[in-house]
Amino acid sequence: MSSDNNAKAYWSATLGLLTKVLVVWFLVSYGAGILFAPALNSISLGGYPLGFWFSQQGSIYVFIALIFWYAKKMGEIDRRFGMQED
């Protein structure tokens, strides 16, 4: 039964992390690039409106950082629950 509880806790932690990643992904890609672009365009970054910058370049930088953050956090979750690879 302890193995069942460990598996449920592991998947709960994994799904929690995945939810956080997807929320950030949505806010950056759809939010900053489309929904909030008119408000962000009043700010300039490198000579370009911030909403445009996020839709063209900024989201890529955030996605790359998100990949590394996810891998680090997933490794921590794996170690906490004894699921790490040898």
pLDDT at 2 over 90: no
CA distances from 32 to 18, 40, 60, 79 (A): 20, 7, 12, 34
Maximum Cα interatomic distance, the chain, rounded to a whole number of Å: 60
pLDDT in tens, 31-84: 887 888 888 889 888 888 888 887 888 888 999 999 999 999 999 999 999 887
Q: Which domain holds residue 25?
A: 2-80
Number of domains, the chain: 1
Question: Does residue 33 sit within a domain?
Answer: yes
| Domain assignment present for 86 | no
Determine, yes or no, domain membership for 85.
Answer: no
Q: For the full predicted model, state whether its pTM sits above 0.75.
A: yes
Nearest CA to 41 among 57, 55, 24?
55
**Residue 72 maps to a domain:** yes
Nearest to 25 by CA among 85, 53, 65: 65
